[in-house]
Each structure stands twice: as structure tokens, then as C-alpha cells.
């Protein structure tokens, strides 16, 4: 009796075939087909964890590690121009935000601003869409949340890549400030959001700038923790 494949068993093959025809592939593993294949989607399910304390940082939670599929997807979004990953990444970030700030109180997600040089090179600040989609996902889950880009750079800073802990701290010291007129008018608990935490220098500087404007940061949430 000839083998007859069921329609459901053909779906992965058809997705891969379509991906080959369109030149599409999974941005996490490279398999032809969907932007994120089902196997990687399972691996990328947000499992938030509390990051070890870092000097000056508010309590920080990460959706995953800076490794494997988590790292590949983050880099594809941040450097590979895969803007379509913003919504998926925002949903994962929402899980870390919820873990960092449990309870019923409304939340205000404050994205850590990218360097102006990076914004020009990438065509936008990619942390802002993450905050927007994360706030949208939290609202969908029944938690009142909004996002607001309160912070901006007040001076030029160097790229943090390759800098040691002390160099990162010195590079960012006093680099951020709250935008004029942006601090008032909210009773929500502020939560800093960013894509990745390494030494914690960026989150620490962002928290300092908010405190200088009279805003107490409750916690921070990131997509990935880099150790």
C-alpha cells in the first residue's frame, strides 16, 4: 500500500519549501521557512530569571540568556535588520517585565536609549519598539502598562563593546538625562527596559538619571543576560 502523508505532516515541508523559494529562513537556526521555526519558538519561550546583582542596577530580570537561539534572535533584530522580530521579542520582554514587577500596579516601561550614532546607523532606536510591544502584551494580559522614552543622551559616548567593567562605567557616567518636561504626569511604577545586560553599567546610569529627576526605578527587564 503506497504511503500517504497526512496534511499536518506535510506542513513543515511546505513551510521549508516556501522559505527556500522566497529566500526566507529562521533567524535563530537558519532553517529555511518561517522567520522563527517551531522548534526555535519552543526554545525561545520566555523563562524569566533574576540576574545576579550588579553595582548601581535596580533588580533586573532577563527573558533568557545571551546564548543559543536567544542570542541569534536578538542579533538578527538588532543588527540584521529583522524588524519583524520586534513584536515577538516584545512579548518575551513582557514576561521579564512582569517577573520584575509583580502585583497589580500600573507600569511605565522606560526604554534605555541607544547611542545617537547607533540610531543613525540602524535607522531608529530599536529598544523603543520593544518597549511598545511589551507594554501592549502586558495590557493584553490584563496589566495596565504604557511606555515612554523619558531618557536621552546628553553627551557622546563610545561603543561599549570591548570595554571592561570600569571603562564602561566611566564611558557612561553622567551620559543620560531625563528629557525636559517628560518626567511628570504618571502614577505608574517605572521599569527600565533594554535588550541585553552585561556589566550593568548602562542600566545603572539610566537609573541614576531617573533618580536625579526624582523618579524612583522599581526594577529593570531585558531580553538577555550576558555573563
3-state SS of 65-124 is ECCHHHHHHHHHHHCCCCHHHHHHHHHHHHHHHHHHCCCCCCEEEEECCCCHHHHHHHCC
Give the predicted TM-score (pTM) of the model: 0.83
Which grid cell sits at 30? Answer: 537558519
Which grid cell sits at 170? Answer: 566611566
Q: With beta carbons less than 8 A apart as the criterion, state whether 124 and 116 touch.
A: no
For the chain, the domains span: 7-43, 46-225
- Residues facing 146 on adjacent strands: 108
- Find the radius of gyration of the CA atoms of the chain: 19
Q: With beta carbons less than 8 A apart as the criterion, state whether 135 and 146 touch.
A: yes
d(CA 216, CA 154) in angstroms, rounded, equals 20
Blockwise average pLDDT, block size 10, the chain, 227 residues: 43 40 74 89 89 95 95 86 85 97 96 84 86 97 96 78 65 82 76 95 95 93 95
Note the pLDDT of residue 8: 42
Amino acid at each position: 500500500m503506497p504511503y500517504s502523508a497526512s496534511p499536518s505532516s506535510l506542513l513543515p515541508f511546505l513551510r521549508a519549501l516556501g522559505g527556500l523559494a522566497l529566500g526566507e529562513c529562521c533567524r535563530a537556526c537558519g532553517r529555511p521557512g518561517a522567520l522563527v521555526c517551531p522548534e526555535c519558538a519552543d526554545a525561545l519561550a520566555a523563562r524569566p530569571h533574576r540576574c545576579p546583582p550588579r553595582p548601581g542596577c535596580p533588580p533586573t530580570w532577563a527573558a533568557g540568556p545571551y546564548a543559543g537561539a536567544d542570542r541569534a534572535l536578538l542579533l538578527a533584530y538588532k543588527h540584521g535588520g529583522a524588524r519583524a522580530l520586534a513584536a515577538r521579542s516584545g512579548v518575551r520582554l513582557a514576561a521579564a517585565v512582569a517577573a520584575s514587577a509583580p502585583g497589580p500596579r500600573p507600569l511605565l516601561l522606560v526604554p534605555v536609549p541607544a547611542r545617537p550614532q547607533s540610531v543613525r546607523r540602524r535607522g531608529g532606536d530599536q529598544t523603543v519598539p520593544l518597549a511598545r510591544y511589551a507594554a501592549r502584551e502586558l495590557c493584553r494580559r490584563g496589566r495596565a502598562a504604557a511606555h515612554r522614552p523619558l531618557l536621552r543622551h546628553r553627551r557622546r559616548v563610545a561603543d561599549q563593546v570591548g570595554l571592561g567593567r570600569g571603562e564602561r562605567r566611566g564611558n557612561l557616567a553622567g551620559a543620560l538625562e531625563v528629557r525636559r518636561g517628560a518626567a511628570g504626569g504618571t502614577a505608574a511604577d517605572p521599569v527600565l527596559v533594554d535588550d541585553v545586560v552585561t556589566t550593568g553599567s548602562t542600566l545603572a546610569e539610566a537609573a541614576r538619571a531617573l533618580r536625579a529627576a526624582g523618579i524612583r526605578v522599581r526594577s529593570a527587564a531585558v531580553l538577555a543576560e550576558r555573563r
